Amino acid sequence: MARPKSDDKHNALLLAAEQVFAKRGLAAAPTSAISKQAGVAEGTLFTYFRTKDELVNALYRSIKLDLADALMTRFPRTGPLRDRLEHLWNAFVDWGVANPQRLNVLDQLSVADMVSEESKAVGYEPFAEIEALAQHNIDSSVLHAYPVAFIAASMKSMAETTMAFMSAYPQEAGQYRETGFKVFWNGIARNADS
């Protein structure tokens, strides 16, 4: 009879993969290095994940769901759009500053061919509400008529710049978080004062 799988080992392998991918990059990270980082035999890794692709997809889902939890747990579903987007902004930059390794690895995984369409769909699902909110406000002429994907990419880029400044100047982190959001908001809102 096979031994039951341990959640601790499963989680240790995901964390080890995250650490190794952050240091070496996804393509240059052999499963042997991940096993070694996790403190298990390489065969143990394949007990939990049949292939490196399966491990990559599990890690992608784990990080996306962690990010979704940070952004959406206290997301205000009513109120002015600016306040709602500022909540998302603050949650994202705070998560990124607290989890730079996870953000680095998520950036790598987001463009990796190994991440399946199914995993991308699972990772996207918690954020569908934000896309719908943005599209509604574009249609209502609150936001400029930019593609939602462009707005999301602009937010990510500006947020990552903000995170870099928050990390480099921690005593001024609040000021950079606020300034970064203002720059983002002014770029997408038709009437930035609303």
pLDDT tens-digit readout, 6-17: 778 899 999 999
Residue 190's nearest CA partner among 91, 81, 90 is 81
Kindly list the distances between the CA atom of residue 122 and the CA atoms of 47, 59, 126, in Å, as whole numbers in the listed order: 23, 12, 8
Q: How many CB atoms lie within 10 A of CB 88?
A: 20
Q: What is the mean pLDDT of the chain?
A: 93
- List the structure tokens of 23: 């240091």
So what's the pLDDT on residue 191? 84
Whole-prediction pTM: 0.91
* DSSP one-letter code for 77: S
State the DSSP H helix or E strand holding residue 44, giving kind and residue range, or none if neither: helix 42-48
Is a pLDDT exceeding 90 seen at residue 168? Answer: yes
Break the chain into its structural domains and give their ranges: 1-50, 59-188
Is residue 3 predicted with pLDDT exceeding 90? no
> Is 59-188 a domain of CATH 3.40.309.10?
no
The DSSP symbol for 3 reads P
pLDDT of residue 170: 96
Residue 1 has pLDDT above 80, yes or no: no
Q: What average pLDDT does the segment 164-176 reach?
A: 97
CA distance 185 to 194: 10
CB-based contacts of 90, cutoff 8 Å, min separation 6: 177, 181
Q: Can you tell me the distance from the alpha carbon of 158 to that of 14, in angstroms, rounded to the nearest whole number?
A: 28
Q: Distance between CA 125 and CA 167 in Å, rounded?
A: 29
Q: Which superfamily, per CATH, for 1-50?
A: Homeodomain-like (1.10.10.60)
